Amino acid sequence: MNGVRARKQPARAVNGDEQKLNGHADPRDRAAELTEPTENIFLFWPNIIGYSRIVLAIASLYYMPLHPRTCSGLYSISCLLDALDGLAARQFNQSTRFGAVLDMVTDRCTTSCLLVFLSSAFPRWSILFQGLISLDFASHYMHMYATLAMGSGQSHKKIDQSRSRLLHLYYNNRTVLFVFCALNELFFIALYLLSFSSPMLSPSLLPTDDKAGGTTQPGSPSHPSSMIFATPGSAWAMELARANKMNSFWPWVIAGVSSPVMLGKQIINVVQLLKASKWLAEGDIKARRAEGLPKKQ
């Protein structure tokens, strides 16, 4: 009988393995899965901060045409929260891929919306602002795709120093990253304020005489075709008059201080685009070689 029992035990083990292979898990494993704590990634603190950034950005866009002070304040707070969500992710150990993508998409969209307004405020320079939007989107998309496709799903901020010292310094030094991002946004905010306060950049702010044939600059917030209320005493006209009385001194100072960093940020975007393109091309060469391409004739 002992021999029979010894022969039956392996049969039970095989049957148990077959049950697992057929999708019938051990009840104890199922119980362990049920007792594991579940997490809602969408309610992580860094992501909640990211949602608040979006709300503030939308509010700033609402006030952008007529309320430069309110818009600048809301936009600046939204940008500053970009640093806070990173601190929260490290503090609560809540770094996620969703949060990283949400952060990047929010940055790209808010900056692009501001540049779109600057294109309408300064029509002569619209092609420059359109180029900046295209460069920003192209460089970050190529970089993100290259790190996901070639870097085994690693974060886009994990750049090996051998691949690019500049990008390694930019993404791995938090101080450098914050300074470049903050001053880049400050430069465009300064241009936005100057569109309301500097006749040098916005000729429409100069007094004109319609009888003498003077016209305001097309695309400007003060252009007659943009007026919602025609009466001089309307709320729109009063708010526009108050906005145009802004002092242009500090916007000029901010633009002058931040302009070198803004140019440096665009250089980084170009380097990021070229490095990502080269990385993807190297991957294509390896893949073609693995397939035996090009075939020898």
Catalytic residues: 107
Tell me how far apart the alpha carbons of residues 261 and 183 are, in angstroms, rounded to a whole number: 6
HEC per residue, the chain: CHHHHHHHHHHHHHHHHHHHHCCCCCHHHHHHHHHCCCCCHHHCHHHHHHHHHHHHHHHHHHHCCCCHHHHHHHHHHHHHHHHHHHHHHHHCCCCCHHHHHHHHHHHHHHHHHHHHHHHHHCHHHHHHHHHHHHHHHHHHHHHHHHHHHHCCCCCCCCCCCCCCHHHHHHHHCHHHHHHHHHHHHHHHHHHHHHHHHCCCCCHHHCCCCHHHCCCCCCCCCCCHHHCCCCCCCCHHHHHHHHHCCCCCHHHHHHHHHHHHHHHHHHHHHHHHHHHHHHHHHHHHHHHHHHCCCCCCC
Tell me how far apart the alpha carbons of residues 17 and 21 are, in angstroms, rounded to a whole number: 6
Tell me how far apart the alpha carbons of residues 116 and 131 are, in angstroms, rounded to a whole number: 11
Closest among 269, 261, 88 to 185, alpha carbons compared: 261
Closest among 44, 205, 58 to 122, alpha carbons compared: 205
Residues present in the chain in total: 297
